């Protein structure tokens, strides 16, 4: 039997499979389908014609619009029907036609989406992606498997992100960009192939980063990418110089971390 809170409102033409858990104040519109292993947190709204399936948890106050399919099986040739999961945080807006897949056994079995994110129409979150909070994915953005997107990243319409790529906090990805390599925190990437055009200064200012700090981060950026060595070698030699600037250190830590992908740069797209 399903567990349905007394304050939930379910349209008579919606289908709720046995085993689903429906929280307080949930609203489920006509022609929605909620699978047997789904948990809908308090205040979730399924507008109409939405599908939530798989072993999927949806956090509080999320809104899911018509045509969205959340919790579908991973689109991976390696998936053999194993039970994996999708977790979505609180206060996310999932617009028309958005798709989010559960994880794969080989990728850890979990797709994780944070809170306060906005997914515009027809955007896609593939298996084993790990997303932070306050992210905006514009229309038709495509994340391949195993992508990591940190907090407050904005991805422009039609951009595509290669599998296993990391995108650092406060980065901005331009519309139609091809993200084939890791993008540093505060990075600004455009084009196909994607080229790192500098820093997301507008985003930094909106986040309250002082102008003097932005100048310091710009100086670090120039030394990383304009130095004689590789970006990773240059970054490793800058830690002492920029130790007092947390934003610069965030970039240096990102570059130093292990990754399956090369690093996006201003030159030929990668470094």
Q: What is the mean pLDDT of residues 218-235?
A: 95
In the CATH scheme, what architecture does the domain 3-146 have? 3 Solenoid (2.160)
Q: What is the pLDDT of residues 163-174, one digit of tens each?
A: 999 999 999 999
User: Can you list the pairs that 120-125 forms with residues at least 24 positions away whose Cβ atoms lie under 8 Å?
Assistant: 120/95, 120/157, 121/95, 121/96, 121/97, 122/96, 122/97, 122/98, 123/95, 123/98, 124/98, 124/99, 124/100, 125/98, 125/99, 125/100, 125/101
pLDDT given for residue 141 in this prediction: 99
CB 74 within 8 A of CB 102: yes
32, 72, 25: which is closest to 48 by C-alpha?
32
Residue 196 clears pLDDT 90, i.e. is over it = yes
Query: How would DSSP label each residue in 198-253?
Result: EE-HHHHHHTT--HHHHHHHHHHHHHHHHSSS-HHHHHHTTTTTTTT-HHHHHHHH
Q: What is the mean pLDDT of residues 213-239?
A: 96
Residue 1 clears pLDDT 80, i.e. is over it = no
pLDDT given for residue 72 in this prediction: 98
pLDDT given for residue 246 in this prediction: 98
Model confidence band, residue 268 (pLDDT cutoffs 50, 70, 90): low
Residue 69, beta-bridge partner list: 51, 99
Instruction: For tokens 């909106």, name the residue.
Output: 206
- Catalytic residue numbers read 127-128, 145
Phi and psi at residue 95, in whole multiples of 5°? -85, -175
Residue 104 clears pLDDT 90, i.e. is over it = yes
pLDDT given for residue 234 in this prediction: 97
pLDDT given for residue 267 in this prediction: 85
pLDDT given for residue 200 in this prediction: 98
Q: What is the mean pLDDT of residues 186-194?
A: 97
Residue 179 clears pLDDT 90, i.e. is over it = yes
User: What whole-number distance in Å separates Cα of residue 36 and Cα of residue 48?
Assistant: 18
For the chain, what are the domain ranges?
3-146, 208-256
CB 121 within 8 A of CB 103: no
pLDDT given for residue 123 in this prediction: 99
- Looking at the chain, the whole-number percentage of residues with pLDDT higher than 90 is 97
Give the chain's length: 271
Average pLDDT, the chain: 97
């Amino acid at each position: 039997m399903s567990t349905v809170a007394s304050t939930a409102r379910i349209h008579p033409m919606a289908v709720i499979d046995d085993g689903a858990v429906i929280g307080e104040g949930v609203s489920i519109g006509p022609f929605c389908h909620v699978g047997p292993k789904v948990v809908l947190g308090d205040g979730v709204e399924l507008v109409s014609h939405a599908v939530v399936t798989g072993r999927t948890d949806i956090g509080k106050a999320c809104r899911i619009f018509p045509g969205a399919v959340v919790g579908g099986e991973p689109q991976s040739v390696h998936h053999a029907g194993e039970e994996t999961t999708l977790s979505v945080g609180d206060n996310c807006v999932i617009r028309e036609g958005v798709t989010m897949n559960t994880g794969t056994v080989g990728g850890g079995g979990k797709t994780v989406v944070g809170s306060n994110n906005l997914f515009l129409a027809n955007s896609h979150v593939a298996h084993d992606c790990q997303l932070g909070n306050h992210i905006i994915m514009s229309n038709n953005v495509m994340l391949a498997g195993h992508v990591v997107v940190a907090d407050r990243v904005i991805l422009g319409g039609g951009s595509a992100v290669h599998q296993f790529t990391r995108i650092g906090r406060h980065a901005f990805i331009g519309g139609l960009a091809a993200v084939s390599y890791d993008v540093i925190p505060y990075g600004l990437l455009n084009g196909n192939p994607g080229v790192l055009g500098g820093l997301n200064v507008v985003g930094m200012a909106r986040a309250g980063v002082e102008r003097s700090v932005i100048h310091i981060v710009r100086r670090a950026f120039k030394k990383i990418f304009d130095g004689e060595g590789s970006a990773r070698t240059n970054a490793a030699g800058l830690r002492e110089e920029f130790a007092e600037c947390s934003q610069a250190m965030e970039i240096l830590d990102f570059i130093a971390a292990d990754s399956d992908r090369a690093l996006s740069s201003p030159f030929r797209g990668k470094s």
